[in-house]
Amino acid sequence: MSSPAHAAHHAPQSFVRKYLFSLDHKVIGIQYYLLGLFSVLIGVSLSLLMRFHMVNPNVSVAWLGKLWPTAAAGGVMTPELYLSLMTMHGTIMVFFVLTTVPQSGFGNYILPIQIGAEDMAFPVLNMMSFWTTFLALVVMVAAFFVQGGAPLSGWTAYPPLSGAGPLTGPGEGLGQTLWIVSIAIFCGASLMGAINFIATIVDLRCKGMSLMRMPLTCWTWLVTAILGLLGFAVLLAAGVLLILDRLAGTSFFLPGGMMINDHIIANHKGGSPLLWQHLFWFFGHPEVYIAILPGMGVASQLLSTFSRKPIFGYKAMVYAILSIGFLGFLVWGHHMFMSGMNPYSAMAFATLTMCIGVPSAIKTFNWIGTLWGGKIHFTTAMLFALGFVSLFVTGGVSGIFLGQPALDLYFHDTYFVVGHFHMIMGVAAIFGMFAGTFYWFPKMFGRMMNETLGKIHFYLTFIGVYCIFTPMHMVGIAGNPRRYADFTNVEYLAKLIPVHQFMTYAAYFTAAAQLIFLFNLVWSWTKGPKASANPWNCTTLEWTVPSPPPHDNFGGVHPVVYRGAYEYSVPGAPRDFIMQTEPLPVPSGD
Amino acid sequence: MLLAPIIWVLTVGIVYFFAAKTWWFPPPINQHGLDYDAQFMRTLIVVGVVFTLAQFALGWVIMKFRNDGGKASHSHGNNALETLWTSATAILFLGLVVMGTKIWAGVHFDEAPPDAIPIEVMAKQFTWSFRYPGPDGKFGHTDLHLVNDANGDPFGLDPKDPAGKDDILSGSLKVPLGKPIKLIMHSRDVIHNFFVPELRMKQDIVPGMEIPIHFQADKIGIYEVPCSELCGLGHFQMRTTMQVMSEADFEQWKLQQAANK
């Protein structure tokens, strides 16, 4: 807890230094948010095209033919185009939306203020981290426009499909190379961000802000940063090895004795396709928690705030976050039960996987415990936090099936898996982002969002996502494999097509509902009513400063913290909340 | 507020679809499949109860504790409750894994019986091929350089090896009823996955590795085998069938295949 002075820098005057190459964590946070917003628009559009193709595999759409003259010649999408869209949907959503917005977006903006710092520990590194992420996005999107188009190997990019070059399929030439390069750049950016977050939390907490007084959001950002630091380092290494296999003729992941597309592959031998899977999932499983942990933090913060009650079991929540972070690194093998790895290791991974269900369950119990006896204010932000809990339960319990190797014998790579992970790391995480948006928008932009539009958007989205993703479990139980361009070649899938049609309509409906959110965002940004410093009557430090906060956050004052983050409805207190900065003579909770 | 009934309706809807089994597993065709379904139902009941209770409780607190202008109760938690639900969850979840162990062991820890019929599987973009050793019980030597897909030989049988003369090749899998089968699986290019829903079994096929699985099918019929690991643009078309035949029909089929060579 050193003086925050070394993070200080003067407010810039020029447009370029103020809005583009800004060192201010608040501007960078908004930049990340907008990058995520742009990415999510691409990601959702790709998913709509996929859903359209799955149920209309032979229908010609003129503008598709114009957009992709080869891959959708005559307006009919080819299976390789479908797989490209799928690969890019997964990649863009996981990396550029789920990883950037909750952590780099909200974390960047809110974290320094919540711990009483003037900025992140390394402002220049912070700026570089954003622009490196931006570069990664440019390279990723560029993959669409090169010879052969975007890669088709999925966001998991399993070699040999991803490692043996254009022989394995269209998109596996330059498109796949650009994909790996983009991911490697993204890893670099995330490492910079992770170091910055950790240093900031360790070093820049203001006087009195002990670790156990931090809001739970800060705990989740800290653990997410640690996961990012360890996970992205491994993915970066794996990406470099995969590039070497493709371009330098090495054989890390490519075995001998292959014959691809009638060509004998003579220049590779001795590599292991499973090595990639181990390295990838050593990153890939913690990545799930990178996406969802900040959402858990936001949900905790909001449930406490809007039920006007202290968080139930703060310490248990902190330990649950820490053990999720720790166990998150020990369960990657549950993605590989069917991979051909040693079947005995599956038992260890299964046991550890069930162990990680325990802290997740603790969190759910504590959220309900927090609401219990509260006085719930149903703001839009709170609705999204409550929706998060519901989706987290729904997405979590299907993991109890998939975590058992015995049951995975059937469910692996079916739509059951697709439904499971979309519910939990897709939709629940995005509900966390919506909750964060409605909650912090007044702080970030100085204006309130429209609550009526917000609530309409919430209800349509909540019902919509259940209609999209619950039926996926049903078709998964019926044995529907994932990553199929259409369902016309396997007889037993014919009876599932009506379910897919329903999911497609639900996807159109839900996507259309997002226009309400976009309108609300833009309208409120420009025309929303002015926000006060503390419109929700919250306790944490970001609500002690004006909305939006001044350049150095606290206007030259060094805040001092006297109490924990969730002092709501304290008996004997004059108001139903006590700010963290209120000195002690006011009676504290217990 | 409105949220509570919506959560309840969604919960009831989901529970209905899992109970109605409108879209469900195909019937199993062996003991492993029956065991699998039993383990699935055990898990479904546990998960169903947890899911329903959690969603109903969430809806209930939303309904019950809405703001009425009064003051919220003040509590920082309850350690006894934390311990109770932590241990209950741990026991429940780990118990399920332990109960499923036997099923996994049957597939992966137990060796195939010595009299199991060996069949070699060759997966490639985007077709399946199967090889039977013929009356001598031996697979002939193969070489990638001798592969001739156009001629129906994706294995590359070596004409100089007498053991391969009687090998039988087939584009679909034929197995005799009630006999242990051992599949020796190879991929020539990328990763594929052998999946027969009715067997409740799937296995990745990885180039550079030889992965065996064994099973027994106890019901005559033709079952589809859809590739279940992303293998390229034709993944969705990579399909074959597994036909379970009476032993006599199976022997007859082998004789026919040998005669047609």
Higher pLDDT, B79 or B173: B173
Residue B151, pLDDT above cutoff 70? yes
With b meaning 16 or more CB within 10 Å and e meaning fewer, what string describes B207-239?
A: bbbebebbbbbeeeeebbbbbbbbbbbbbbbbb
Residue A14, pLDDT above cutoff 90? no
| DSSP, res A577 | B
The CATH topology of domain A287-512 is Cytochrome C Oxidase; Chain A (1.20.210)
Is A46 in contact with A92 (CB distance < 8 Å)?
Answer: yes
The reply to whether A275 touches chain B by the CB within 8 Å rule is no
Q: Which domain holds residue B15?
A: 3-64+84-108
Residue B76 lies in a domain: no
Q: Clarify whether residues B147 and B243 are in a common domain.
A: yes
Is A539 in contact with A576 (CB distance < 8 Å)?
Answer: no
Residue B79: its pLDDT value, please?
86
Write the DSSP string, A459-476. HHHHHHHHHHHHHHHHHH
Question: How far is it, in rounded angstroms, from Cα A3 to Cα A118?
Answer: 10
Q: Which helix (H) or strand (E) holds A260?
A: strand A258-260
Residue A441: its pLDDT value, please?
98
B54 vs A393: CB contact, 8 Å cut-off?
A: yes
Facing A409 at nearest CB: one of B24, B76, B201:
B201
Q: What is the CATH number of the domain that holds B144?
A: 2.60.40.420
Residues from chain B contacting residue A569 (CB–CB below 8 Å): 71-74
The reply to whether A158 touches chain B by the CB within 8 Å rule is yes
Residue B96 lies in a domain: yes
Residue B203 lies in a domain: yes
Residue A3, pLDDT above cutoff 50? no
Q: Clarify whether residues B101 and B127 are in a common domain.
A: no
Residue A4, pLDDT above cutoff 70? no
Averaged confidence pLDDT in chain A: 95
Q: Clarify whether residues B95 and B144 are in a common domain.
A: no
Question: How far is it, in rounded angstroms, from Cα A380 to Cα A454?
Answer: 6
Q: Measure in Å the smallest separation between the Cα of B63 and chain A Cα atoms.
A: 9
Region A151-173: mean pLDDT is 96
| DSSP, res A448 | P
Q: Clarify whether residues B187 and B155 are in a common domain.
A: yes
Residues from chain A contacting residue B202 (CB–CB below 8 Å): 338, 409-410, 412-413
The reply to whether B114 touches chain A by the CB within 8 Å rule is no
Is A167 in contact with A195 (CB distance < 8 Å)?
Answer: no
Is B78 in contact with B22 (CB distance < 8 Å)?
Answer: no
A229: which 2 tokens? 């630091």
Percent of chain B exceeding pLDDT 70 equals 100
Q: How many CB pairs under 8 A join A and B?
A: 340
Residue B83: its pLDDT value, please?
87
Residues from chain B contacting residue A578 (CB–CB below 8 Å): none
The reply to whether B108 touches chain A by the CB within 8 Å rule is yes
B93 vs A271: CB contact, 8 Å cut-off?
A: no
Count helices and strands in chain A by DSSP H and E runs: 17, 2
Residue B261, pLDDT above cutoff 80? no
Number of domains in chain B: 2
A450: which 2 tokens? 């429209």
Domain A27-255: give its CATH superfamily: Cytochrome c oxidase-like, subunit I domain (1.20.210.10)
Q: Which band of pLDDT confidence, cut at 50, 70 and 90, is reported for residue A589?
A: low
* pLDDT tens for each residue of A229-280: 999 999 999 999 999 999 999 999 999 999 999 999 999 999 999 999 999 9
Q: Measure in Å the smallest separation between the Cα of A95 and chain B Cα atoms.
A: 21
Q: Clarify whether residues B130 and B208 are in a common domain.
A: yes
Residue A5, pLDDT above cutoff 50? no
B67 vs A375: CB contact, 8 Å cut-off?
A: yes
Q: Which band of pLDDT confidence, cut at 50, 70 and 90, is reported for residue B152?
A: confident
Facing B72 at nearest CB: one of A273, A309, A365:
A309
Beta bridge partners of B204: B193
Percent of chain B exceeding pLDDT 90 equals 84
Residues from chain B contacting residue A475 (CB–CB below 8 Å): 23
The reply to whether A56 touches chain B by the CB within 8 Å rule is no
Among A residues 222-261, those touching chain B with beta carbons less than 8 Å apart: 255-261
Q: Clarify whether residues B104 and B146 are in a common domain.
A: no
* pLDDT tens for each residue of A385-409: 999 999 999 999 999 999 999 999 9
| Interface confidence: ipTM more than 0.85 | yes
Q: Clarify whether residues B211 and B97 are in a common domain.
A: no
Which residue in chain B has the smallest CA separation from A71? Answer: B233
Question: How far is it, in rounded angstroms, from Cα B152 to Cα B173?
Answer: 15
The reply to whether B96 touches chain A by the CB within 8 Å rule is yes
- Classified as helix, coil or strand, A311 is coil
The reply to whether B195 touches chain A by the CB within 8 Å rule is yes
Q: Clarify whether residues B250 and B123 are in a common domain.
A: yes
A572: which 2 tokens? 């004997």
Best residue of A252, A276, A280, A358 to probe chain B, by most B CBs closer than 10 Å? A358
Residue B131 lies in a domain: yes
Q: Clarify whether residues B187 and B242 are in a common domain.
A: yes
Residue B8 lies in a domain: yes
A160 vs B207: CB contact, 8 Å cut-off?
A: yes
Facing A261 at nearest CB: one of B125, B230, B239:
B125
Is B174 in contact with B245 (CB distance < 8 Å)?
Answer: yes
Q: Which band of pLDDT confidence, cut at 50, 70 and 90, is reported for residue A11?
A: confident
Residue B218, pLDDT above cutoff 50? yes
A216: which 2 tokens? 């739970």
Question: How far is it, in rounded angstroms, from Cα A490 to Cα B224?
Answer: 7
Q: Which band of pLDDT confidence, cut at 50, 70 and 90, is reported for residue B70?
A: confident
> Can you give the three-state secondary structure of chain B, one letter per residue?
CCHHHHHHHHHHHHHHHHHHCCCCCCCCCCHHHHHHHHHHHHHHHHHHHHHHHHHHHHHHHHHHCECCCCCCCCCCCCHHHHHHHHHHHHHHHHHHHHHHHHHHHHHHCCCCCCCCEEEEEEEECCEEEEEECCCCCCCCCECHHHCEHHHCECCCECCCCHHHCCCEEECCEEEECCCCEEEEEEECCCCEEEEEHHHCEEEEECCCCCEEEEECCCCCEEEEEECCCCCCCCHHHCEEEEEEECHHHHHHHHHHHHHHC
Phi-psi region of A254 (alpha: psi -120 to 50; beta: other; left: phi over 0): beta
Facing B1 at nearest CB: one of A364, A378, A490:
A378
Compute CA A193 distance to the chain's CA centroid, rounded to the nearest angstrom: 15
Q: Clarify whether residues B104 and B202 are in a common domain.
A: no
Facing A343 at nearest CB: one of B26, B68, B109:
B109
Residue A2: its pLDDT value, please?
43
CA distances from B245 to B166, B180, B216, B261 (A): 21, 13, 12, 21
Q: Residue A585: how many CB atoms within 10 A of its CB? A: 7
- The pTM (predicted TM-score) of the whole model is 0.96
Is B195 in contact with B228 (CB distance < 8 Å)?
Answer: yes
Residue B50 lies in a domain: yes
Residue A8: its pLDDT value, please?
58
Facing B144 at nearest CB: one of A259, A347, A410:
A259
Region B54-63: mean pLDDT is 96
Facing B70 at nearest CB: one of A260, A375, A470:
A375
Residue A95: its pLDDT value, please?
98
Q: Clarify whether residues B124 and B217 are in a common domain.
A: yes
Facing B229 at nearest CB: one of A164, A362, A413:
A413
Best residue of B7, B21, B22, B23 to probe chain A, by most A CBs closer than 10 Å? B23
The reply to whether A499 touches chain B by the CB within 8 Å rule is yes
A386 vs B40: CB contact, 8 Å cut-off?
A: no
Is A86 in contact with A54 (CB distance < 8 Å)?
Answer: no
Q: Measure in Å the smallest separation between the Cα of B247 and chain A Cα atoms.
A: 26
Q: Which band of pLDDT confidence, cut at 50, 70 and 90, is reported for residue A584?
A: confident
Among A residues 367-406, those touching chain B with beta carbons less than 8 Å apart: 368-369, 371-378, 383, 386-387, 389-390, 393-394, 397-398, 400-401, 403-406
* pLDDT tens for each residue of A509-557: 999 999 999 999 999 999 999 999 999 999 999 999 999 999 999 999 9
Residue A588: its pLDDT value, please?
53
Write the DSSP string, A58-100. T---HHHHHH-TTTTGGGPPPHHHHHHHHHHHHHIIIIIIIII
A308 vs B224: CB contact, 8 Å cut-off?
A: no
For chain B, how long is the longest CA-to-CA vector?
A: 91
Residue B72 lies in a domain: no
A354 vs B188: CB contact, 8 Å cut-off?
A: no
Q: Residue A367: how many CB atoms within 10 A of its CB? A: 29
Is A73 in contact with A65 (CB distance < 8 Å)?
Answer: yes
Residue A587: its pLDDT value, please?
54
A255 vs B209: CB contact, 8 Å cut-off?
A: yes
Q: Clarify whether residues B123 and B163 are in a common domain.
A: yes
B85 vs A365: CB contact, 8 Å cut-off?
A: yes
Which residue in chain B has the smallest CA separation from A159? Answer: B190
Q: Where are the domains of chain A?
A: 27-255, 287-512, 529-590
Q: Residue A529: how many CB atoms within 10 A of its CB? A: 12
Among B residues 39-58, those touching chain A with beta carbons less than 8 Å apart: 39-40, 43-44, 46-47, 50-51, 54-55, 57-58
Region B24-32: mean pLDDT is 98
Residues from chain B contacting residue A428 (CB–CB below 8 Å): none
Residue A15: its pLDDT value, please?
86
Residue B171 lies in a domain: yes
B77 vs A272: CB contact, 8 Å cut-off?
A: no
* pLDDT tens for each residue of B155-192: 999 999 999 999 999 999 999 999 999 999 999 999 99
Identical fold between A27-255 and A287-512 = yes
* pLDDT tens for each residue of B85-119: 888 888 988 999 999 999 999 999 999 999 999 99
Facing A273 at nearest CB: one of B3, B44, B208:
B208
